[in-house]
């Protein structure tokens, strides 16, 4: 988004915007390379919502000509509405995997949830509805991704895990 063309277009939109303040903040985030700090603030809020029904979101862009802070209270129920499409995509992917493997959910011995998203209660609930909750395992959710990738990389033909092999 930091290409000269995109920045030029965003500045042009800003000139004619009714709500200039929000677009100015968006431009400041792009121009000052604050995408990752903003991402981190969002990830922290997401993690907090895994253990609480609400959280305070806070992002400060200090050191800018127009310093600003974004703050909001986020309810887990609102977050779950925001990710409803993602939850449906996960559900569809699980159903597709079962269909492709030609097995029923009851035939699965273990389901291992991994990654930061596995901490999200609505994601876990999705799997608990699909599979026997006693079969669901977690542990080292963040490290297990790297471990799994290392195992794939060690294969003689890791391309079998490529999405291009559909």
Helices 121-130 and 84-101, axial angle in degrees (round to 10)? 30
Q: Does residue 120 sit in helix, strand or coil? A: coil
Q: How confident is the model at residue 163 (pLDDT cuts 50, 70, 90)?
A: low
pLDDT at 64 over 70: no
pLDDT at 62 over 60: yes
Beta-bridge partner residues of 57: 72
Concatenate the DSSP letters of all residues of 65-103 into one string.
TT-EEEEEEEEHHHHHHHTHHHHHHHHHHHHHHHHHHT-
pLDDT for 46-58, tens place per residue?
999 999 999 999 9
pTM for the model: 0.69
Among candidate residues 108, 33, 41, the one with its CA nearest the CA of residue 63: 33
Task: State the Cα–Cα distance between residues 37 and 50, nearest whole angstrom.
Answer: 20
Q: Does residue 60 sit in helix, strand or coil? A: strand
Q: Where are the domains of the chain?
A: 4-81, 89-165
Kindly list the distances between the CA atom of residue 160 and the CA atoms of 26, 93, 155, 156, 157, in Å, as whole numbers in the listed order: 41, 18, 9, 10, 6
Q: What is the mean pLDDT of the chain?
A: 87
What pLDDT is recorded for position 49?
A: 94
């Amino acid at each position: 988004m930091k290409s000269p063309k995109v920045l030029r277009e965003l500045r042009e939109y800003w000139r004619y915007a009714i709500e200039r303040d929000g677009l100015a903040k968006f431009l400041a985030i792009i121009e000052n390379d604050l995408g990752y700090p903003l991402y981190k603030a969002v990830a922290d809020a997401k993690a907090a919502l895994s253990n609480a029904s609400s959280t305070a979101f806070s992002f400060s862009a200090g050191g800018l000509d127009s310093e600003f802070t974004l703050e909001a209270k986020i309810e887990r129920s609102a977050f779950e509405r925001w990710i409803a499409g993602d939850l449906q995509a996960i559900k569809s992917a699980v159903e597709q995997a079962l269909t492709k493997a030609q097995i029923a959910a009851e035939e699965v011995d273990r389901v291992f949830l991994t990654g930061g998203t596995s901490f999200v209660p609505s994601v876990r609930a999705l799997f608990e509805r699909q599979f026997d909750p006693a079969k669901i395992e977690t542990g080292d959710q963040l490290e297990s991704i790297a471990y799994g990738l290392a195992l794939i990389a060690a294969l003689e033909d890791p391309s079998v895990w490529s999405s291009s092999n559909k």
